[in-house]
């Protein structure tokens, strides 16, 4: 029976999936959840020996849960298609799993790259992470039913933080970063509209200022120069844009009698893209 399962959730990642899966060869099995892929992602994954779960998963939390359910290993290493596991990290993970220690889940550092530049400081505010809980025993991690950045719950005992980092190609350039903010806030806006948990604009403006300060000052984003400032701005805009898009969604739904429409209108504030694109919930 597999001891360590590598889990990758992907949507149209044919340009990246091979390099991602090649670095997971140390796992006993690899499971790829292919969410509405229309390119060669599934074909490449199967050619590389992965077990592919193909389906429609508009909600990221459900996509992750389907992947975990398909894993047969006692331990799961969760990786995104735009991430790489370096050899040193692979050895460390193998040692942790083999040791049978008391920890049930472990935080793993993340080395975030914008283009070819490593950006060490300033990540946070739903726009990036410098550490993620991606190595865990099956059954101890669950996700809320949300489209983007679903909340997580852990049971069991927290283990030691690993030393070596996942390499994350988070954005190709500044334009890619702006597009990611647009995607994330569109999806978050839908979650807020569904739940009705829409705060006042002043509340989100205050949260935005606080997030900017936390990323730029507390988390030392100022060390990264222009990119550090931009990341802090993006983190600060995240709650405000999500709220504004949620308000527009609720308004459009009200005009349509509560039906799930409105986002299908391209060019709106909601996302600047159509409904199907907004629902993809890409983790890039």
Q: Given pLDDT bands bounded at 50, 70 and 90, which one contains residue 167?
A: very high
Question: What's the alpha-carbon Rg for the chain, to the nearest Å?
Answer: 19
Q: Helix or strand or coil: residue 44?
A: helix
Judged against a pLDDT cut of 60, whether residue 233 lies above it is answered with yes
Judged against a pLDDT cut of 80, whether residue 195 lies above it is answered with yes
Residue 165 to residue 9: CA distance in whole angstroms: 19
Domain boundaries, the chain: 172-278
Angstrom CA distances, 93 to 14, 19, 68, stand at 26, 19, 18
Q: What is the pLDDT of residue 260?
A: 55
pLDDT in tens, 246-284: 999 999 988 887 555 434 343 333 333 333 333 333 344
pLDDT in tens, 128-137: 999 999 999 9
pTM of the predicted model as reported, rounded to 2 decimal places: 0.85
pLDDT in tens, 8-65: 999 999 999 999 999 999 999 999 999 999 999 999 999 999 999 999 888 888 899 9
* Cβ within 8 Å of residue 210, ≥6 positions away: none
Run of H or E residues at 70:
helix 60-70
Could you tell me if 131 and 161 are in contact, meaning their C-beta atoms sit under 8 angstroms apart?
yes
Give the CB-side neighbour count of residue 21, counting CA atoms within 13 A.
Answer: 26
Please give the mean pLDDT across all residues of the chain: 88
Q: What is the pLDDT of residue 119?
A: 97
Which of residues 126 and 161 earns the better pLDDT score? 161
- Kindly write down the DSSP assignment for every residue of 82-128, as one continuous string: TEE--HHHHHHHHHHHHHT-S-SEEEEEEEEEETTEEE-S---TTS-
- Which residues are registered as beta bridge partners of 154? 141
Of 163, 38, 169, 37, the residue nearest 90 (C-alpha): 163
Q: What is the pLDDT of residue 258?
A: 56
- Dihedral Cα 77, 79, 83, 84, nearest 10 deg: 30
Could you tell me if 25 and 93 are in contact, meaning their C-beta atoms sit under 8 angstroms apart?
no
Judged against a pLDDT cut of 60, whether residue 171 lies above it is answered with yes
Could you tell me if 124 and 233 are in contact, meaning their C-beta atoms sit under 8 angstroms apart?
no
pLDDT in tens, 103-112: 999 999 999 9
């Amino acid at each position: 029976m597999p001891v360590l399962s590598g889990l990758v959730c992907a949507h149209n990642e044919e340009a990246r999936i091979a390099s991602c899966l090649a670095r997971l060869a140390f796992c006993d099995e690899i499971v790829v959840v292919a969410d509405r892929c229309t390119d060669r992602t599934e074909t490449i994954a199967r050619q590389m020996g992965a077990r592919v779960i193909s389906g429609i998963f508009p909600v990221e939390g459900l996509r992750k849960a389907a992947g975990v359910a398909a894993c047969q290993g006692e331990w799961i290493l969760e990786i995104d298609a735009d991430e790489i596991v370096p050899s040193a990290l692979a050895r460390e993970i193998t040692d942790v799993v083999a040791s049978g220690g008391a920890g049930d889940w472990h935080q793993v550092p993340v080395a975030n790259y914008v283009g070819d530049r490593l950006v060490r400081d300033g990540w946070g505010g739903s726009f990036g992470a410098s550490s993620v809980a991606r190595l865990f025993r099956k059954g101890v991690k669950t996700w809320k039913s949300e489209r983007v950045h679903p909340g997580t719950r852990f049971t069991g005992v927290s283990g030691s933080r690993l030393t070596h980092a996942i390499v994350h190609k988070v954005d190709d350039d500044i334009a890619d970063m702006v597009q990611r903010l647009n995607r994330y806030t569109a999806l978050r806006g839908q979650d807020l509209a569904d739940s009705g948990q829409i705060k006042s604009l002043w509340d989100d403006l205050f949260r935005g200022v606080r997030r900017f300060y936390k990323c730029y000052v507390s988390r030392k984003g100022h060390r990264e120069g222009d990119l550090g400032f931009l990341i802090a701005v993006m983190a600060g805009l995240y709650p405000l844009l999500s709220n504004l898009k949620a308000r527009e969604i609720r308004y459009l739904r009200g005009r349509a009698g509560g039906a799930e429409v409105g986002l299908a209108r391209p060019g709106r504030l909601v996302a600047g893209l159509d409904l199907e694109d907004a629902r993809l919930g890409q983790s890039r």
